[in-house]
Amino acid sequence: MPAPENRDPDKKKNPWVQISRYSQLAFMLPAATVAGWLLGSALDHWLHITWISIVGLLLGIAAGFIELIRTVLRDSS
């Protein structure tokens, strides 16, 4: 049996709550991109390979967009 929803529908419609949720995306997208690039660069340095930082950058961008899509879908339903 699924757990009951603990969210208050009035709280979800509060404009300040929505502003805070969407403003976190302004930090999430660049943070995920930089984190992926830094992890890839560290692996490049450790393994003496030059292409892993680009893979890390792409994975960071993908992670940022996935979080963006999840946030938008969660708020639209």
pLDDT, tens only, 55-68: 999 999 999 999 98
Residue 40 lies in domain: 24-76
Higher pLDDT residue, 9 or 31? Answer: 31
Please state whether the predicted TM-score (pTM) of the whole model is above 0.75.
no
Rounded-to-integer distance, Cα 4 and Cα 11, Å: 16
- Residue 55 domain flag: yes
- Residue 50 domain flag: yes
- Residue 4 domain flag: no
For residue 43, the model assigns a pLDDT of 94
Whether residue 77 has pLDDT greater than 80: no
Predicted confidence (pLDDT) per residue in 14-46, tens digit: 888 878 888 888 899 999 999 999 999 999 999
For residue 11, the model assigns a pLDDT of 55
- Residue 10 domain flag: no
For residues 28 and 64, the answer to whether their CB atoms sit within 8 Å is yes
